[in-house]
Amino acid sequence: MIGVIRDKILNFTGTDWVPIVIVGNKTDLQGQRQVSREDGEDLAARWKCLSCETSAKTNMNIGRAFELMIAEIEKSTDQVPEEKQGECTIL
């Protein structure tokens, strides 16, 4: 399902990369885990994005998840080419 959502975003934006952070939540419930840490890390590597695991209950990595999101957004804004102002090209 997450792959479908990512594909729709990429199709909509017309790019091959958008800022994404994969966040695994509820790490305090290890016995009820649906996705292994390794699977999450593998997906992040394939998509060339960051990942982290969090627990709101224990406040583990909550701030870190937001820091990673901001870093990815800032990285994407660095890649936007600046518009050239005041230049003229004669062919």
Q: Which residue has the higher pLDDT, 38 or 84?
A: 38
Residue 76: the pLDDT is 79
The CATH code of domain 2-78 reads 3.40.50.300
What does the alpha-carbon distance between residue 86 and residue 81 come to, in Å, rounded to a whole number?
Answer: 16
Residue 79: the pLDDT is 61
From start to end of 1-79, where are the E strands? 21-24, 50-53
Residue 27: the pLDDT is 87
pTM: 0.73
Residue 91: the pLDDT is 53
User: Given pLDDT bands bounded at 50, 70 and 90, which one contains residue 28?
Assistant: confident
Q: How far is CA 58 from CA 5, 53, 61, in A?
A: 29, 12, 9
